[in-house]
A and B are shown apart, each in its own frame.
Chain A
Amino acid sequence: MDKDTIQEQLKEIIAVYVPDKEILGKLTLEHDLINDLKINSAHIVDIVLDIEEKYDIMIEDDAIMEMVTIDQAIEVIYGKVQEK
């Protein structure tokens, strides 16, 4: 699975948690999940669960801390999918 596919799928996963849907249309790799996309910090846990279910992977608490931007989230998912 390539990173572009993961990016598209990640966008679908986070959409429901993003209050202002307009920003999804111009999403960049640099966007910060909490500060730029205004995702409620409590929902990071929900996003991680949705990701784990989608890719059948486990993301440890340490790795969650690294998922600050879209780019970083893709890297974590990509790494875990490769390990499978």
Chain B
Amino acid sequence: MAPNAVGTADFEKALKEGRSGIRFFEESQSLNFRCQIAGKPLITEDYKARYFDDYYQNKLDNNAIIYACLAGFEAWENAGLIHHQNQIDFDSGMIIGSGALGLDGSNHAVFSKILAGNNKRLGSRAIPESMSSGAAAYLNKILGLGNRILSNSSACITGTESVLLGYEHLKLGKAKRMLCGSTEGDGIFIWGAFDAMRILTSDSNEDPTNGSRPMCDSSVGFVPGSGSGAMVLETLESAQSRGAKIYAEILGTYVNSGGLRDGGSMTAPNLNAVVQCMKNSLREAKVASNEIDLISGHLTGTKGDSTEIKNWKKALGGAQDKFPLINTPKSMIGHCIAGAGSIELVATLIQMEKSFVHGNYNIKKVNPDITAEIPLERIPMKTVHKKINTAIKANFGFGDLNCSIVLRKWKDG
């Protein structure tokens, strides 16, 4: 569930054609936000009705939870799995992370009723819809999984970390399959709070689709987005025994923190930790840097983009001429915060499956600090056809957090 597409088939199309999901929001303007644009999935009532019963359809308010339920349900179906109304599957679990579930715009009613002395009129959903584990809880009411149900929250690495956590759980032999993903809601509370930090794009309110410009010389900040991505991780034995379609194999993962030391802070990364994270995921994967066909970067459209490129180059051995293709869908969907990692991993898997690399759009001129490090042609500006066997994906988050995952296309798939 991305700002520019609903469902994986539409997402593939959107990535290929460079469709933007960034729009102007009048409410942001009326509340004096500097950044008045954002990305938000457009989900119709008809689409929801395909997956939801009437209770979810009519009563569920929290956007982050709605996105996660729809993404999780689609991933489950896409993996060829079914769920039973009255059965529990103890071999399957889920890791569905979230960022600021309680700050989704739907909480407006909760806050205002309490402030007006009307907490009695809240009903039963205020807590389940704002607890950090809410997305997993509502999704599991649909699926009925009985293994580990966990909701991680690690800022912008939440999505990549959810996959790492599911992978580790499977490696320990504790489940056969794990549904992994993450979600982020939207609205004035999340956007307004990020806006206060002066890290959002403020120069594109009249030209929203041009606002998110990762790696561009003129980028001034990120555009907030929302949405959810999800995928099913499964042991090879289990997947093969039921004849499941296998998209890719996870070769290596790593998560670490820069400790908010040595240049690392709440908002800036400790560069040594970033490079170590990338390198260690490659080491676990036993993948040499020249085997990588695609880097799916974090690349939010801030001044941190050039630093990230330097880190990638360092982690991959420093050779300028051997740097792989690099992209991020953020020019189309903005930075979906806790939802980013999972949505971008889905984008990576789609590109792997369909042999293409989508463009980095909205770049008029690449930041010279980036072209000083890597050849210009490694930054595709439009979709190119290319077979991708091996990809590396990383995200970095507030609190000096890093997470990196190395994937390889499944040969028999």
Give me the interface of A with B, judged by CB distance under 8 Å. 15-17, 42-43, 45-46, 49, 52
A42 engages B55 (CB within 8 Å)? no
Q: Which of B54, B121, B123, B124 contacts A15 (CB 8 A)?
A: B54
With both beta carbons as reference points, the residue of chain B lying nearest to A15 in the complex is identified as: B54
A16 engages B124 (CB within 8 Å)? no
B123 engages A16 (CB within 8 Å)? no
A16 engages B55 (CB within 8 Å)? yes
Q: Provide a sorted-by-A list of 17 A–B residue pairs whose CB atoms are within 8 angstroms.
A: A15-B54, A16-B54, A16-B55, A16-B58, A16-B59, A17-B55, A42-B124, A43-B124, A45-B123, A45-B124, A46-B59, A46-B123, A46-B124, A46-B125, A49-B121, A49-B123, A52-B121
Within 8 A of A (CB), among B54-113: 54-55, 58-59
The count of residues in chain B whose C-beta lies closer than 8 Å to any C-beta of chain A is 8
Within 8 A of A (CB), among B365-397: none
Contacts of B58 on A, CB cut-off 8 Å?
16
With both beta carbons as reference points, the residue of chain B lying nearest to A53 in the complex is identified as: B121
In the assembly, what is the distance between CA of A43 and CA of B58, in Å?
Answer: 14
Contacts of B59 on A, CB cut-off 8 Å?
16, 46
Contacts of B124 on A, CB cut-off 8 Å?
42-43, 45-46
Within 8 A of A (CB), among B240-285: none
In the assembly, what is the distance between CA of A16 and CA of B121, in Å?
Answer: 18
In the assembly, what is the distance between CA of A45 and CA of B55, in Å?
Answer: 15
Looking at the assembled complex, report how far the CB atom of A12 sits from the nearest CB atom of chain B, in whole angstroms: 11
Q: Which of B55, B121, B125 has the most CB of A within 10 A?
A: B55
Beyond A46-B59, A46-B123, 15 additional pairs, beta carbon < 8 A: A15-B54, A16-B54, A16-B55, A16-B58, A16-B59, A17-B55, A42-B124, A43-B124, A45-B123, A45-B124, A46-B124, A46-B125, A49-B121, A49-B123, A52-B121
Contacts of A15 on B, CB cut-off 8 Å?
54
With both beta carbons as reference points, the residue of chain A lying nearest to B85 in the complex is identified as: A19
Contacts of B125 on A, CB cut-off 8 Å?
46
Contact with A along B25-64 (1 / 0, CB 8 A): 0000000000000000000000000000011001100000
Contact with A along B116-147 (1 / 0, CB 8 A): 00000101110000000000000000000000
In the assembly, what is the distance between CA of A52 and CA of B54, in Å?
Answer: 21
In the assembly, what is the distance between CA of A16 and CA of B123, in Å?
Answer: 14
Contacts of B123 on A, CB cut-off 8 Å?
45-46, 49
Contacts of A49 on B, CB cut-off 8 Å?
121, 123
In the assembly, what is the distance between CA of A43 and CA of B123, in Å?
Answer: 8
In the assembly, what is the distance between CA of A59 and CA of B123, in Å?
Answer: 13
With both beta carbons as reference points, the residue of chain A lying nearest to B128 in the complex is identified as: A42
Top 3 A-B pairs, shortest CB-CB distance: A42-B124, A46-B123, A16-B54
In the assembly, what is the distance between CA of A17 and CA of B124, in Å?
Answer: 12
In the assembly, what is the distance between CA of A15 and CA of B54, in Å?
Answer: 9
